[in-house]
Amino acid sequence: MASKKVTERAKKLRNLLTHHARQYHILDAPELSDSAYDALNRELLELEARYPELVRKDSVTQRIVGEALPFLRKVRHRVPQWSFNDAFSPDEIRAFDERVRKVSGAPQTYALELKIDGLKVVCTYEKGELVLAATRGDGVVGEDITHNIRTIQEVPARLARPVTLIIEGEVYLTRSGFTKLNTERKDAGEPVFANPRNAAAGSVRQLDPSIAAARPLGAFFYDVAETSETFPKMQEDELSYLRKLGLPVNPEHRHADSLEEVFSYWEKWKGKARDTVDYQLDGIVLKVESRKAQQMLGYTGKAPRFALAYKFPPEQVKTTVESITLQVGRTGKLTPVAHLTPVAVAGTVVARATLHNEDFIRDKDIRIGDTVILQKAGDIIPEIVSVITELRPKSARAWKFPTHSPLCGGDGSIERVPGEAAHRCVTTGSFEQQVRRLSHFAGKSALDIEGMGRETIRLLIDQGLISDFDDLFELTKDELRALEGFEETKAAKLTKAITSATKVPLDRLLIGLGIAHVGEETAYLLATHFATLTALRAASEDALSRIDGIGPIIGKAVAEWFKDADNRAPLARLMKHLMVQKIAAPAKGPLTGQTVVITGTLPTLSREEAEALVRRAGGKASGSVSAKTSFVVAGENAGSKFETATRLSIPIVSEAAFLKKLGA
């Protein structure tokens, strides 16, 4: 049963989609991009699938959207018109194929065609003569646009032979013509078209045919709805039949024996091939080839069960603003960043977007909890285009620029730059402080992200790509490739290293967080004592202080770090990316009860590796020499620790002797 909150969300989505469908399909004046509309429609479909009681007969998900304009003559279709259901992932294509197999009783082959982003047209020929061209409308009643379709040179007024038939196709405006048309309209002070599809629709839904005649319109036909001759048995035969009658058919159609061929065709046209044709594409269409199987599969209330539109990755999507934080730049300038519900846009998953400055947030009225439209500027940098205020929840919160931030060092003071929209830290050196903090987190003793050195961290912060721990795990290969010095191989290698670092032992994570007084040994003690981060976060200062080897100073520092809201929020975001591994409790071994100090450069072991061996053998690895030290493992350039051990008469051993003690 749907909750009150879900029911209200579905109602808002229905009303919003009805409005935008009318703007798009009827008035040719869209206020949302196709992909943003698809995202909202998809959310409503998912809610209706989960809660069938939310389905309404008048919902845009249950009917063909469109109606005839009052100034054009209405015509009733002899053959009902349909629209395609959409798919956005390989899994949805596989599910479609499974349904086809189940209903038809056998595996099917598919005809693959390009999905041209234009206006559907239904043409009727009587004894070879064009007598009617109509829009789809609501699927039952459309508009008579014959006078405008006759101006398109590719659409024949007379067929190659005197056949009577009804055919379906797409009228489009060329991409090059669209650019030229919008330039002319802009120069003339007229409103520009949002996209080629609406330019085509606006051109053929006019009373004056000279408007359509003056524009670079084209057409392709792809389906025979009715014919006085023998109906083709296969979709490929249908296209051949149309072509032999003298009708324009898109040449890029293909046959597919397997889903692998479907995916290959989609990948090809999603990529560079898309730029080789002079018409707008938004996906491909796959149709069961056999007409007999098509008739067996039939239709739903609005779409054929034998065909599906497989859309390209959206260029605009909807998502939710979960929180807003700050990032600091090289000059101390502070930039707000929106943390978003992760969403795929233009082929990559995005979880954050820059909000530029306080004025940008105010002008767009962006609030925490808002549903927003997101796109990638130049296909790389995520940006929020607009807020869908109609979907704003009552819990949405306005965000104000803080007066202080821990990013700023000193007392954390923030000031607005006089005469500008920018804010900056009052204390200088904040940028380098952040570089050190994140370099430590990614460094060898903590998460050990190979390739994420200090200069790379500095570059990423300077470019506004990271500001806190979690941002490292939201970097995409596309963002890295756009940076100076990052070619494909280097970007791929760093992306792989980041992915590998998502599995991290608890002690390494604690080291990386930069908690005061928590070094390798203390992190190990905490990790083995509490086992999980959840247990550690819940520990009181007193409980921490009573742990052998921790004490009141460290106990207080750890407890206060986890209580601080400025630490809790980024930690919660970080934990969405990590799989934290438990550390086994110290074993009783050859070094149980002994305290060992590692100093100097050892022949084969790093200091971190040697200290890990000490702990695994049941001993304690200490960073300083004292009377409690059991022995010192010394390598080259041992320095002051060697001297202190000599003065206190503490045994000093080589790496080889150390390994012998361990039984290695």
Feature table: binding site for NAD(+): 34-38, 83-84, 113, 136, 170, 287, 311
Residue 10's contacts (CB-CB under 8 Å, 6 or more residues apart) are 2, 44, 47, 48, 51, 54
Is the separation of the CB atoms in 480 and 495 below 8 Å? yes
Is the separation of the CB atoms in 374 and 381 below 8 Å? no
Is the separation of the CB atoms in 633 and 598 below 8 Å? yes
User: Which residue in the block uniquely carries the two structure tokens 């259901």?
Assistant: 85
Q: What is the DSSP letter of 296?
A: H
**CB atoms inside a 10 Å sphere around CB 612:** 16
Signed CA dihedral, 549, 551, 553, 554: sign only: positive
User: What are the binding residues for Zn(2+)?
Assistant: 408
Q: Let me know if 115 is a catalytic residue.
A: yes
The alpha carbon of 311 is separated from its chain's Cα centroid by a whole number of angstroms, namely 15
Catalytic residue among 12, 115, 318, 376: 115
Is the separation of the CB atoms in 207 and 71 below 8 Å? yes
CA–CA distance, 255 with 235 (Å, rounded to integer): 9
User: What are the binding residues?
Assistant: 34-38, 83-84, 113, 136, 170, 287, 311, 408
The alpha carbon of 206 is separated from its chain's Cα centroid by a whole number of angstroms, namely 39
Long-range contacts of 353-361 (CB under 8 A, 24+ apart): 353/382, 353/383, 353/384, 354/381, 354/382, 354/383, 354/464, 355/324, 355/384, 356/421, 357/421, 357/422, 357/423, 358/400, 358/401, 358/416, 358/421, 358/423, 359/421, 360/336, 360/421, 361/324, 361/336, 361/399
Query: Quick one: tokens of 358?
Result: 């306080």
Is the separation of the CB atoms in 312 and 321 below 8 Å? no
**CB atoms inside a 10 Å sphere around CB 256:** 18
**CB atoms inside a 10 Å sphere around CB 37:** 23
Between the alpha carbon of residue 180 and those of residues 186, 280, 385, 580, the distances in Å are 10, 15, 25, 56
What percentage of the chain's residues is helix, strand, coil (to nearest 5)?
40, 25, 40
CA–CA distance, 656 with 635 (Å, rounded to integer): 10
CA–CA distance, 427 with 568 (Å, rounded to integer): 24
Where is 10: in which H helix or E strand?
helix 4-21
Q: What is the DSSP letter of 471?
A: G
CA proximity to 388, closest of 117, 19, 56: 19
Is the separation of the CB atoms in 482 and 462 below 8 Å? no
Is the separation of the CB atoms in 117 and 34 below 8 Å? yes
Strands, sheet with 110-116, edge to edge from the N-terminal-most edge strand: 86-87, 307-311, 281-288, 110-116, 254-256
Q: What residues are labeled active site?
A: 115
